[in-house]
Amino acid sequence: MKNENERYLFEILNEAYPKQWVSEHTGIKGRKFRFDAANPTLKIAIEVEGGIWLGKTGGHTSGIGYQQNMEKYNLAVMEGWKVLRYSPQTMKKTPWKIIADVRKLCGVSVDPNQKDLDFTGYKQTKIEQAQMRLS
């Protein structure tokens, strides 16, 4: 895993769905693109769009980086992947939204007003523990 955001995403996903997610997954054959986190069985990829508030260009926020990301996401969709994109702020402040979105993609109904992580098999304390480990 490259950075704190990717480690945190991986931690969130594996607390909710143990052993179903991989990091730095190359889901597009013949390309070097990697997903921050992926569930290869369900073909769900999750990307953290870091650096969006830094006020400088570089990496993924440069013109070339942004163009490469568009190519990556479009190729992924054409190969049957469902790609979810989040900011680091979403992960840290409202991580339940990520889990809720994954559940929706899997056909599980979710109450959009539910703010705790009391989904089946997933508790608020788990995410708090993950946050403390990575702080």
Domains of the chain are 4-127 (3.40.960.10)
Q: Are 38 and 76 in contact (CB under 8 A)?
A: no
What's this model's pTM, rounded to 2 decimal places?
Answer: 0.72
d(CA 115, CA 7): 23
**How does pLDDT run along the chain (135 residues), one tens digit per residue?**
567 777 888 888 887 788 888 888 887 888 888 898 999 999 999 998 876 555 555 555 567 877 888 898 999 999 999 999 998 888 777 887 888 888 888 887 666 555 544 444 444 555 555 555 544
Can you point out the beta strands (E) in the chain?
22-25, 35-39, 44-48, 82-86
d(CA 7, CA 29): 24
> DSSP assignment, residue 45?
E
Q: Which of 47, 48, 40 is nearest to 20 (CA)?
A: 40
